[in-house]
Amino acid sequence: MAGKVFLVGAGPGDVSLLTVKAKKLIESAETVVYDRLLGKGILAMIPPSARSVDVGKRGGRHTMPQEEINRTLAKLAGEGKQVVRLKGGDPFLFGRGGEEAFYLRERGIPFEIVPGVTSALAVPAYAGIPVTHRDMASMVHIITGHKKEDMPLDIDFKALTAAGGTCVFLMGVSALPEICQGLLFGGMAEDTPAALVSLGTTAMQKEILGTLKTLPEKVKKEGVKTPAVIVAGQVCACMEKLHWRTDLPLSGRRYVLTRPKERTEKLSEKLKELGAEVIELPAVSTVFREENRELEEALCRISSFDILALTSPTGAEYFFRYMQKMKMDIRRLFGVQLAAIGEGTARVLRERGLYPDYVPQVYDGTSLGILLRNSAKENAKILLPRARAAGPELTQELAGRRDIQVTEIPLYDTVPGKHPLINLEEEIRTGEVTAAVFTSASTVRGFLAMAGEADVSLVRAYCIGEKTAKEAEKSGMKCAVAKEASVEALVEEILEDSKRAACGA
């Protein structure tokens, strides 16, 4: 198959601002060439199985020269690879995407441009700055603030200020004093509002508002991290009234989601809607047992069982997947009672028109075991397909009834997760990761494995149940526990804990 390069704009940092096409390309990528400017949440979306090439572009510092990047893209495409070239913001706005496209075209290599949301517009918007406004600015100028070492900025400030409107500078933190002096020299007034927004659209976003005269000193005093966007013009004054990002209840907070990727979407979306930055970093992954003779035999005699007990949404979905593999009609479950460990598992059943007969009030193995032990008929036969490494609590409770016969079948395996582009140990040490969400004891163990030697007591753990919390507490993490084992209750606990933290409780 012929190779092709996709020059993809990854936006300013917030995963939610990826275009639909960019998201699809990233999640299905086999080969990725990326800049370090990308947000952690976007890096985490790259499949761990993908071949990833770090070209090291950030803030003017390049570990790989542009000429070598060009050659790398051509070489990979020449090998027949579908190459996703990930660039922060938009590939054609100060991203040197045009140079890469010309290089590929000259060598007859197919390419496609996938535009991205540029930080020049998105970052001011997240800070409450409309770059144009009918009463303040009828035009906007986007300028690179990057300059070569020991060289002055190559900007005609007099022409820029004479044109009027809003000035947005990218890659200009180190040149901020010169930019402000240049605009003053060009004719802007000293009291013209000016702002710097650092790490815009992420949980670490920081805004500094001043004037052309005061902004450089304010930035020097407060300190900022790159990347940052500088905005000059009357529209900057709108920040004080149009701030919205900081009004969201989870604004400024970043959470690592540790549950398997296929079960992350609902929780991730709810947290993002509340203003949180989310990094989906599965601490475990599930491996479906494609060949399962024990399960096949059990399904062939499914009518001989009195109860089918399902202990996780993943297990429920895998069970029905195996039924489909065997071309078994759902009606074969007629006469078999259904037990679900909690609301998430029950939802998988209801989606197939099945309503569980048993759901414990407390969503854990012990409670389900007690419920079945007390409710199952005499000499009941229970089919229990679940993870190979499932906890013993459920079967221990059922063992209290000698007449109950349990057929436990490994349905899938859980293996520790790992992402080659996210160094969780370093993220914890530098304070980039301070909160994680756990939905099972296995996700806690997987998280600890990825955390290495980092001090995990610095991480706040949000847990879906007491068993999960006990596993987290053993490592020194301080825990907040959802009132019940559901995504909704977990989000509610995160919200309440955020409010308590804001009040200093």
| The CATH fold of domain 121-247 | 3.30.950
Which residues touch 335 (CB under 8 Å, ≥6 apart)? Answer: 303
Query: In whole angstroms, what is the distance from residue 117 CA to residue 108 CA?
Result: 28
Q: Does residue 34 register a pLDDT over 60? A: yes
Q: Which CATH superfamily is domain 4-117 in?
A: Tetrapyrrole methylase, N-terminal domain (3.40.1010.10)
pTM comes to: 0.81
The torsion defined by the Cα of 493, 499, 504 and 505, in degrees rounded to 10, comes to -40
Q: Considering the chain, what is the average pLDDT of its residues?
A: 92
Give residue 393's identity as a one-letter amino acid code.
E
Give residue limits of the domains in the chain. 4-117, 121-247, 254-283+417-502, 287-414
Residue 139 catalytic? no
Query: In whole angstroms, what is the distance from residue 481 CA to residue 92 CA?
Result: 46
Are the beta carbons of 173 and 228 closer than 8 angstroms? yes
- 62 pLDDT band, cuts 50/70/90, is low
Residue 323 catalytic? no
Please give the backbone phi and psi of residue 160, each rounded to the nearest 5 degrees, phi first. -65, -50
| Catalytic, out of 40, 57, 81, 261 | 57
Please give the average per-residue pLDDT across 104-116, as a whole number: 96
Model confidence pLDDT, tens digit, residues 248-291: 999 999 999 998 776 778 899 999 999 999 999 988 888 888 89
- The domain over range 287-414 is classified in CATH as 3.40.50.360: no
Residue 35 catalytic? yes
- The domain over range 254-283+417-502 is classified in CATH as 3.40.50.2300: no
| Catalytic, out of 171, 323, 450, 477 | 171
Model confidence pLDDT, tens digit, residues 133-167: 999 999 999 999 987 777 788 899 999 999 999 99
Please give the average per-residue pLDDT across 328-345, as a whole number: 93
Q: Do domains 254-283+417-502 and 287-414 have the same CATH topology?
A: yes
CB atoms within 10 A of CB 185: 12
